[in-house]
Amino acid sequence: MHYQNALAEEIRSSAAHLLAEDVGPGDITAQLIPENQWATAKVMSREAAVLCGVAWVDEIFRRLDSRVTRRWQAADGDQLVPEQYFLELEGPARSLLTGERAALNVLQTLSATATATHRYVDLIKGTGVRLLDTRKTLPGMRLAQKYAVTCGGGHNHRIGLWDAFLIKENHIAACGGIQAAVAQARKLASDIPVEVEVETFEELDQALAAGADIIMLDNFALEDLHVAVEINGGRATLEASGNVDATTLKAIAETGVDCISSGALTKDVKSIDLSMRITQTFNV
């Protein structure tokens, strides 16, 4: 429930920010259009994609001009084909053009994350391995991109620094070892999952002995991932991370790990090519 409430607030605040960023004190070019001129417009994807960002677009136009109506022919998570029109807008021509870039910017970015996630999920279909995102998100778009990952069929890792422990090499060094770090985490919050990042088999043994819930195998070679799975014997959830891309993903999944995390889903995305076109104008 907290996540849903936070996401709803994120949509409201980001829509306001996007409009403020693009419109500023006013759209001077839109003033060239008569105030009483209305229009219809269609939004199209020029490439195959997984749609994400409907609520953001609705909020942008709601804030900009409540007279703008949106008729969606697709929903978040739906797959789009090239040249597919998936949204029709109608309202004052000025408002359609003023909101165009803010709306397309958020759609093309979130759809990119959803699309990249869907491609990766397809590659590991049937393995039973879960694909996870990371905190390597675009600045200011944490919840939005994590939502987009779920639209593409992926799963969320921790949202931020508050909802799960992730004990990395610098934490281990500062705490005096894996055992000490895990013990302190249990004292601080016994009900929050504890994950430990390891780089060697020795550290893996230490994390298992300390009772870590999740162990991240950082940049393990494929053969080492197989060995780690055998050593673990189902005691902890194993997460593979590092060197994850379309060419390595399936092989990593087939080692027997439980999940794979990839920062590429959110930080390396290429925006989806979208276009809006005015299809009709009329006076009211």
Q: Of 218, 224, 254, 273, which is the active-site residue?
A: 218
Residue 105, beta-bridge partner list: none
The two beta strands, 237-241 and 259-261, are parallel
- For range 201-221, the mean pLDDT: 98
Contact of 110 with 55, CB cutoff 8 Å:
no
Cα–Cα distance for residue pair 230/86, rounded to 1 Å: 48
What would the two tokens of residue 209 be? 């002995």
**Cα(204)–Cα(195) distance, integer angstroms:** 12
Q: What would the pLDDT profile of 127-141 be if each residue is shown by its tens digit?
A: 999 999 999 999 999
Entry field: residues in the chain: 284
Is residue 47 over pLDDT 90?
A: yes
**Which tokens hold the place of 17?**
């920010």
The residues with which 239 forms a beta bridge, in sequence order, are 216, 259
Binning pLDDT at 50, 70 and 90, where does residue 281 land? very high
pLDDT tier for residue 230 given thresholds of 50, 70 and 90: very high
The number of angstroms, rounded, from the C-alpha of 15 to the middle of its chain's C-alpha atoms is 17
Of residues 12, 135, 168, 267, which has the active-site annotation? 168
% of the chain beyond a pLDDT of 70 = 100
Segment 188-209 shows an average pLDDT of 97
User: Which tokens hold the place of 133?
Assistant: 């995102």
Residue 243 pLDDT:
87
Say if residues 45 and 284 touch (Cβ distance below 8 Å): no
Q: How sure is the predictor about 263, in pLDDT bands with cuts at 50, 70 and 90?
A: very high
* Nearest to 181, CA basis, from 199, 168, 198, 162: 168
pLDDT category, 3, cuts 50, 70, 90?
confident
Quote the pLDDT of residue 4: 80
Angle at the Cα of 56 from the Cα atoms of 52 and 57, rounded to 5 degrees: 90
pLDDT tens column, 67-100:
999 999 999 999 999 999 999 999 999 999 999 9
Catalytic residue (choose from 101, 135, 142, 235): 101
Q: How high is the pLDDT of residue 2?
A: 72
Query: For 221, what's the count of Cα atoms within 13 Å in the CB-facing half-sphere?
Result: 3
- The C-alpha angle with vertex 114 and arms to 108 and 116, in degrees rounded to 5, equals 95
Q: Output the CA torsion 79→77→87→93 (10° steps).
A: -130
How confident is the model over 231-260, as pLDDT tens digits? 999 999 999 999 899 999 999 999 999 999
**Arithmetic mean of pLDDT over the chain:** 96
Residues 6+ apart with CB under 8 A from 95: 30, 61, 64, 65, 67, 68
Concerning whether 187 is annotated as a catalytic residue, the answer is: no
Catalytic residue among 195, 197, 203, 258: 197
Q: 210: part of which helix (H) or strand (E)?
A: helix 201-210
Report the alpha-carbon angle 107-108-111, nearest 5.
75
Instruction: Report phi then psi at 261, rounded to 5.
Output: -110, 145
Tokens encoding 148: 């987009």
Specify whether 35 is catalytic. Answer: no
197 is catalytic: yes
Q: Which residues contact 17 (CB under 8 A, 6 or more apart)?
A: 140
Residue 282 burial (CB count, 10 A): 11
Is residue 218 annotated as part of the catalytic site, yes or no?
Answer: yes
Distance CA 190, CA 209 (A): 17
42 catalytically annotated: no
